[in-house]
Amino acid sequence: MDCSGLVRMAYLAQGRILPRDAWQQALQGEAVSVADLQVGDLIFFGNAKTRRVTHVGIYAGNGEYVHSSQMVRRNSLKNTSPLYLPLTILACRRVEGTLLADIVSKM
């Protein structure tokens, strides 16, 4: 399962249908800052120069996020963490009407 497929399935489990591709998902909900991330918010990564979204993850709390690239994994936004993955954040979005805390905690 790829990253946008993981996000789509997690939201679908909560009764919310999101588009299939990460760049389309980046148009959903409202923008939030990295400092204001809440569990279940979406983090979009990509090319800073072109602003092209190429990856998406679900914020899991404590500076960590869950994402998928052939396998589901947990990484950190904190460059001091051993789970840190140096990806460029392009945007963060909050899609209302979902309670992903339970799902994300099991990932």
Return the active site residues: 3, 55, 67
Nearest to 99 by CA among 29, 11, 35, 26: 11
Query: How far apart, in whole angstroms, are the C-alpha atoms of residue 71 and residue 104?
Result: 15
Indicate the pairing of strand 42-47 with strand 52-61.
antiparallel
Query: How far apart, in whole angstroms, are the C-alpha atoms of residue 100 and residue 36?
Result: 16
